[in-house]
Amino acid sequence: MIASPVLILGARSDIGRALARTYAAHGCAVILAGRGDMEADRRDLELRTNAKVQAITFDVTDGKPDGFFDRLNSVPGTVIMVAGLLGDQQISAAEDAAAAIVLDTNYSGPARYLLAAARRMTGVTGACIIGISSVAGDRGRGSNFVYGSAKAGLTAFLSGMRNAHARHGIHVITVKPGFVATRMTEDIKLPPLLTAQPAEVAQAIMRAHESRQDVIYVRSRWRLIMLIIKAIPERLFKRLSL
């Protein structure tokens, strides 16, 4: 059972929009939360699906999660944290402000919002929290360790939240999409066999939600790839350009 309404935090992203369409088509009420005016997105989704849709402004780095949840019309049954920022590793390593944005957007901001969500969702039948992490968090790599470390933190956070809230009726799912063809990655040449589309990610999340899985890799190849990468001895790993 999918508990409604479904709150999508980061609903203006390509994955966020795909999730909104998927859950609305499933018959769920949807709350779109994103930066800027979300009214056009709300109208478009209602026209496409006839679902009940609320739109609200949201910034994962604003440090005011309790105030955000106070503004909602109802307690969500499902919360999906989509917000994230890849950033530029070289700039993040050179500039503190750039690093702070990547770390806050991918870890501390999402963690605080999901903590606030859990405080309100206790007692909601079928409550579910879904966090989109990354394969980049499975092992720190020189090419993206600022982003990867934040996602590693989010992965650990979701694991701990899953353990802590299982007895309180809140199921927690960790999603590791791998490469996804979105506006965030449009300037990067991605390998087709390892690259998912936003709609594919949304469908995988819906299936995981319905079957109450704990951790998913959207494309199963990533599970094997990351097992191999994690198995490389550190003395060799630090010599590689990954």
CB 45 within 8 A of CB 21: yes
Half-sphere exposure of 86 (CA within 13 A, CB side): 14
- How far apart (Å, rounded) are the C-alpha atoms in residues 212 and 121? 17
DSSP tally for the chain: helices H, then strands E: 10, 9
User: Dihedral, CA atoms, 23, 220, 175, 43, nearest 10 degrees?
Assistant: -30
* β strands within the chain, DSSP E: 6-9, 30-34, 53-57, 78-81, 128-132, 171-176, 179-180, 195-196, 215-217
Q: What are the backbone dihedrals phi and psi of residue 150, each rounded to the nearest 5 degrees, phi first?
A: -65, -40
Three-class SS of residue 27? coil
- How far apart (Å, rounded) are the C-alpha atoms in residues 235 and 218? 30
- How far apart (Å, rounded) are the C-alpha atoms in residues 108 and 114? 10
Which spans in 86-189 are helix H? Answer: 89-94, 96-103, 109-121, 145-165
**Catalytic hit among 23, 113, 147, 217:** 147
113 is catalytic: no
Active site residues: 147
